[in-house]
Amino acid sequence: MSSHPAAPREPRRSHRQLAEQLDLLHFPAHSPGMACWHPNGIRLLDALHAYIRELNERYGYQEVRAPLICDQQLWAHSGHLDKFADKMFHLDVDGRPASLKPMNCPGHCDLFAHRPRSYRELPMRIAEQGHVHRAEQSGALNGLLRARSFVIDDGHLFCAPDQVPAELAGCLRMAAEVYRQFELPLSAELSLRPEQRLGDDLLWDQAEQALRDALNDARISFSEQPGEGAFYGPKVDLHVRDSLGRAWQMGSVQLDYQLPERFDLRYVAADGSDHDGDGRPHRPVIIHRAMLGSFERFVGILLEHLDGRFPLWLAPEPVRVLPIGAEQLAYAREVAAALNGAGVRSRLVEDGPLGGRIRDGQADRIPVLAIVGAKEQASGAVALRSPSGQEVLGLDAAAGLLGSRVRDRSAV
């Protein structure tokens, strides 16, 4: 009998297996905790990045990019070095201790502080698809679900205290829209003050109540978790339940009165003053928010939730064009060109019997198989086969329909 422990059993719909099967990525032995993304995987990530970018623009965010490597002085200043030093990759840069960034917020605070700010600039909403690295223990790694290198759909809102309720409401509206897009039921946890924290209890009372009110106003069901907040403020953790009945913590919305103090963030008020009547600087409040969390982790969750069957707009290969015989090859090329011209990525596959190519397309989770035979060629049409059924449309109508579904990010 082997003395080695049994390997952990892969769950049904393992995202590792699906990722390999669909040629999205692999996990190289030379880079533990990091994925090597293949062309199909990059197409999938690009579609997610584009969706979040469009959403950010619609909700009034401006995109930024903070440095990937920063002196440890920055992390000490923010308080992260005390709390997360063991989760950071540390470097020596020009003889000074530095770290790969594990999060984006200190860089965004530095951006706000780069020049004087006016009340007219508030709320200032900035977003970053920020590449971060965290030194997770090897035993905690779990494919895309727990990795050492990933990209966060991060956002920070710098707002005046009286703008907090409206900005929290906007963040929760955005979250509800994102999870509706992927048909993931949304709930939340309100994480309250931890034992070790920054700031006085009055500020924590105000911050916790502001989040509680926002959740109630948004009609999002939530539970309260005492002691689980971040050291700088309370937070809302956004949860979804997948098709296998599993709960996942996804994005978060966090209220922060502490980093503005640490970074001495301030703005000039409408009366031209930079201090209130008690001599305190006018400080913005920071709302930290992420919708998907990590793009990579979200892909892992979606793979298992959808069993790899991505909607048309998200699939790396939305349409596969299958000519029945060699006589239809020239017309099949016209079909593929028309679809690509309408913004629907397609690939023509001609080798092998039609039945085998159809089975391959189904195994590869291709959303739509566009089949063209002599009848379709003669009438300038195409037979579209998807999990929801089959329909024969004229080529222009088919390209227009599928193009609109990609643009609208709707299901087939």
Domains annotated on the chain, with CATH: 15-306 (3.30.930.10), 319-407 (3.40.50.800)
Integer Cα distance of 288 and 167 in angstroms: 11
- DSSP calls for 250-271: EEEEEEESSHHHHTT---B-TT
Pairing of strands 285-294, 149-159: antiparallel
pTM value is: 0.91
Integer Cα distance of 350 and 365 in angstroms: 18
Query: Dihedrals φ, ψ of 224, to 5°?
Result: -105, 135
Integer Cα distance of 370 and 377 in angstroms: 12
Integer Cα distance of 109 and 259 in angstroms: 8
CB burial readout 117-138, b (16+ within 10 A) else e: beeeebbbbbbbbbebbbbbee
pLDDT of the chain, 412 residues: tens digit per residue: 333 333 343 446 799 999 999 999 999 999 999 999 999 999 999 999 999 999 999 999 999 999 999 999 999 999 888 888 999 999 999 999 999 999 999 999 999 999 999 999 999 999 999 999 999 999 999 999 999 999 999 999 999 999 999 999 999 999 999 999 999 999 999 999 998 887 788 888 988 999 999 999 999 999 999 998 887 789 999 999 998 899 999 999 999 888 999 999 999 999 999 888 788 999 999 999 999 989 999 999 999 999 999 999 999 999 999 999 999 999 999 999 999 999 999 999 999 999 999 999 999 999 999 999 999 999 999 999 999 899 999 999 999 999 999 999 986 5
Bridge partners (DSSP) of residue 237 are 189, 252
